[in-house]
Amino acid sequence: MFENIYAWLMRLYPSRFREEYGEEILQLFRDRARDEKGFYRRLRLWLDLVADLAISVPREYYYFEPELIGASADQRLGGLPSFVVIEGGSPRPEALLSGGVLAIVVLSTCSIFLSQAGHYTPRRTFTAASSQSHRYKDSSPFGGQASPSGTEGGNGTSLFGRSIVSGRGPRTGETNNSESGGIPPDSSESSQTQRIEDARNGGMIHAAKGYAQVDAAERGRVIHAAVANLKQYYVHPEVAQKTSDALLAHEKNGDYDAVKEGGAFAALLTKQMRDTSQDMHLDVLYSQEPLPEHPLGAIPENRERYREYIEHNNCTFEKAEILQHHIGYVKLNSFPDLSLCESTARAEMNRVNDAAAIIVDLRENRGGYPDMVMLLAAYLFDHPEYMYNPRENTTQQCWTRSPVAGNKLADKPVYILTSGLTSSAAEHFSYDLKMLKRATLVGETTSGAAHSGVFHRIDEHFGMGIPEVKPINPFSKSDWAVVGVEPDVRVKARNALETAIKLAQARLQR
């Protein structure tokens, strides 16, 4: 029956093509149908065939056209051009009808599959420096990821970190930091997301897929350590109790017995903790490589390498210039350590001080230090403004030190460019300025890396992130953890600059 369907669909091709290769094509279909059995492979076969038809049928008609045109130009009758029809005309009505039916079937099938796909809880890997118990921000300034040269970031075995599987689901667009040219990632959290397909290239396949096995004893140890940590550290004791009870109940029911891979086990624990606590900042992490017992950030060599890196990279200010129409453009690829980069940051902001509007490009910004967030935000206000940070309780630090002397940007329109890579401190900056209605976000939803937990090492391979403070979010119930920051104007990241320029121009012409 399937062969008949495909034979019928082949009538979409021009007759000449069918005559030449129809039998061969059917034979190829029969070969594939014979070799590709089972639901998944058969589905893949049909998707391939439909995609192939969609591409090759129009092309077959298209390729006849040049000849048709060329032939008519050469044919002259009594000195006048004449037309010669080579192919038997446009597609037949039944071919158009079958094409229409096919399109409806394909669209319906895709819709059904999408709606039936269920909840996908992918794992993501990231590298982390960790200790028995320390804040993410206290560790390696490189977050255990890319080397300063940007040449080691892809192999997943950089000097500073190790591969980890987290239960936190990735958002689209998260990539290996090496794609951003070795820019130091969010050093405030020391954790770094990485797309699994990138990790595969970097030899982290085992960690990414969670192939490493965990036995019952280790599972039990991790569960009980997680429970103990929750009770001791979690900000809400009653929620900690409820979450712990849920984990123990799952253990008692034998729900973990079948989970033998480290990554999968961490993902399951994370999901269950979040389901019970409704707190998206809770995480269980798995690392195939042994986790260090002390924070890497405390190692002086790492600090020195970070310093060298940012000195050679202008504190990750890639650009600060005035574009046409007096639009200022600042491309910042991390929020570097204020103690090392304050003068550079101020100098770069001064370069765009005369702009009529400003575009801050954070599309490749994976985060950094909250102090730098506060410094740059200070330029955008003429009065101290409260900047919400899910990692900190309200302190003096959460108010911008506005106004900045000599600054002219406080009342200028602000556009922030975002992508799926934009993470952590860059999301902090974007989220607050959006909520304060101070900036228009243009681009894609950000990665959703709030990283507000404190890291607790459980054993050589497992650790967990637990929020120990619960600052009140003045804007809404949730921050950007997991879900990311939504742009105001959604466009592909690669088109964001162009769109923002147009928006700024339109605004300035009012």
Partner 1 sequence: MPKQKLNPLPSAAFQILLALVDEDLHGYGIMRQVEDQTDGRTRLGPGTLYSSIRTLLEAKLIEEVDVPADARPGSERRRYYRLTSAGRKLVRSEAERIADLLRVARSKKILRGAHV
User: Which residues of this chain interact with partner 1, rule CB under 8 A?
Assistant: 13, 17, 20-21, 24-25, 27-29, 31-32, 48-49, 51-53, 55-57, 59-60, 63-64, 66-67, 150-151, 153-155, 176, 178, 198, 201-203
Closest by CA to 284, choosing from 323, 342, 226, is: 226
C-beta of 208: minimal distance to partner 1 in Å?
15
* Residue with Cβ nearer partner 1 (171 or 195): 195
* Residue with Cβ nearer partner 1 (14 or 328): 14
Give the 3-state secondary structure of residue 235.
coil
C-beta of 44: minimal distance to partner 1 in Å?
8
* Residue with Cβ nearer partner 1 (180 or 445): 180
* Residue with Cβ nearer partner 1 (21 or 233): 21
* Residue with Cβ nearer partner 1 (54 or 347): 54
C-beta of 308: minimal distance to partner 1 in Å?
17
Give the 3-state secondary structure of residue 147.
coil
CA distance 263 to 166: 7
Closest by CA to 206, choosing from 287, 308, 137, is: 287
Strand residues in 97-175 grouped as ranges (E): 124-128, 133-135, 163-166
C-beta of 207: minimal distance to partner 1 in Å?
16
Report how far apart, in Å, the C-alpha atoms of 439 and of each of 380, 411, 477 are.
9, 11, 21
- DSSP category for residue 486: P
C-beta of 507: minimal distance to partner 1 in Å?
36
For the chain, first and last CA: distance in Å?
A: 64
Side-by-side strand order, sheet with 283-287: 133-135, 454-457, 462-466, 283-287, 163-166, 124-128, 191-194
* Residue with Cβ nearer partner 1 (70 or 220): 70
Instruction: Give the up-direction half-sphere exposure of residue 65: CA atoms within 13 A in the CB hemisphere.
Output: 7
* Residue with Cβ nearer partner 1 (6 or 379): 6
* Residue with Cβ nearer partner 1 (20 or 293): 20
C-beta of 173: minimal distance to partner 1 in Å?
17
CA distance 471 to 479: 11
Give the 3-state secondary structure of residue 173.
coil
Residue 125 near residue 166, CB atoms below 8 Å: yes
Q: 462-466 and 454-457: which strand pairing?
A: antiparallel
CA distance 150 to 146: 6
C-beta of 165: minimal distance to partner 1 in Å?
20
C-beta of 196: minimal distance to partner 1 in Å?
14
CA distance 115 to 108: 11
H helices present in 36-152, as ranges: 39-74, 93-116
C-beta of 395: minimal distance to partner 1 in Å?
40
C-beta of 145: minimal distance to partner 1 in Å?
12
CA distance 216 to 95: 61
Please report, as a single letter, which amino acid is at residue 398: C
* Residue with Cβ nearer partner 1 (45 or 362): 45
* Residue with Cβ nearer partner 1 (137 or 363): 363
